[in-house]
Amino acid sequence: MSTKQKHNTNPFEMALKQVDLAARHMDLEPGLVARLKSPEKEVIAHFPARMSDGQLKIFTGYRVQHNDTRGPYKGGLRYHPLTDLDEVRALAMWMTWKSAVVNIPFGGAKGGIQCNPKEMSSTEIESMTRRFTYEISSIIGPDLDIPAPDVYTNPQVMAWIMDTYSIIQGRTVGGVVTGKPLELGGSLGRFEATGKGVFITALEAVKSKGLQMEGQKVAIQGSGNVGGVAARYFAQAGCKVVALSDSKGGVYNPGGLDVEHALACKNKYACVMGPEIEGEEINNEQLLTLDCDILVPSALEGVITKHNASQIQAGIIAEGANGPTTPGADAILEDKGVLIVPDILANAGGVTVSYFEWVQNLQNLLWSEKEIDSRLTGILQKSFAEVRKTSQQKKVGMRVAALILGIDRVVSAMKLRGIYP
């Protein structure tokens, strides 16, 4: 049972409460706050796809478009059995604030299909993906809404979406998605971007406390595109990655894990606790409360709650996942003096390099990996400094500070555009 199920965490209620917390420190009229809390469009599609045994199966998919005041809707597409409308609503809202925090010209959206891709063949996933693309083809596009990879989706899935959309349009439209394979106009550095961004912002947090990254003990929940990539960067910086996990469980070694070996075991055996791994087998809830300096929750939302926040020993939390910490847990952690690098800042590397990919597609360019790395690092360092400054000026935690910064940018754009008619 997931923490989300166990404690009945509703991510959309979390997102709404976060807006209210930020609004207390802002001079916003009630109607404007209500608009910020309401998605602009929601699509629910119940659609068929042909399975390998020849039978039709009905799937439920969602696309929520929260706000496009500052630019096209932007957000990932996830495949997960627990995906529901409230989850997608929350993720879409967080995408709006995330794009604004790093000050790139996107709005926020999110999508998901309720399915278990681990129990589906590649052919079945392709069939499902292409049919869902057809269902939402009228509301996506390079200047409308641009999907990207998320939980259990990848560049191949983006390639299927791009191809299906292009067939419908009668021409190749590379900019309809980001996170594509390089061969189809993807960007160098996109796969690593979210995990790398977690590391970059965690490094800024460590420096802000007057500490050195080398020797820091890091526990990472999740070992996929975010957690696994971040683990490599932490290890390369001289940190001790003491714990790593996936959906099946994790491994803990207080002396530090061999990250490459653990990730190789995951690829080979579908779990990080493979043969010859030196460490103690743990579950995902135990990982959160281990003795460590930096905790990186990079799996699903709602895993740090008021029920386990007091047991967390890390001095810094860098949120690789979206919404991993509930508002009730935030209050406990702030009282303990934990420095939280919130999700809308910590994992914004993905949307930032997605923006780079989108720009390259529109202009038929290909930037070097060095150029992308330099631009990404600069944007995240600047964004961290702006959130930190807001935190100190407003005397609020980093999450509320990031929300204030992001919401203020959206509100400023909304006021400039006005309401028509």
Which residues have a catalytic role annotated? 110
d(CA 228, CA 195): 7
Mind spelling out the 3-state secondary structure of the chain?
CCHHHHCCCCHHHHHHHHHHHHHCCCCCCHHHHHHHCCCCEEEEEEEEEECCCCCEEEEEEEEEEEECCCCCEEEEEEEECCCCHHHHHHHHHHHHHHHHHCCCCCCEEEEEEECCHHHCCHHHHHHHHHHHHHHHCCCCECCCEEEEECCCCCHHHHHHHHHHHHHHHCCCCHHHCCCCCHHHCCCCCCCCHHHHHHHHHHHHHHHHCCCCCCCCEEEEECCCCCHHHHHHHHHHCCCEEEEEEECCEEEECCCCCCHHHHHHHHHHHCCCCCCCCCCEEECHHHHHCCCCCEEEECCCCCCECCCCHHHCCCCEEECCCCCCECHHHHHHHHHCCCEEECHHHHCCHHHHHHHHHHHHHHHCCCCCHHHHHHHHHHHHHHHHHHHHHHHHHHCCCHHHHHHHHHHHHHHHHHHHHCCCC
Q: Which helix (H) or strand (E) covers residue 317, if one does?
A: strand 316-318
Amino acid at 245: S
d(CA 149, CA 156): 9
3-state SS of the chain: helix, strand, coil percent to 5? Answer: 45, 20, 35
What residues form DSSP beta bridges with 141? 145
d(CA 219, CA 254): 10
d(CA 147, CA 162): 10
DSSP string of 252-280, one letter each residue:
E-TT---HHHHHHHHHHHSSSS-TT--SE
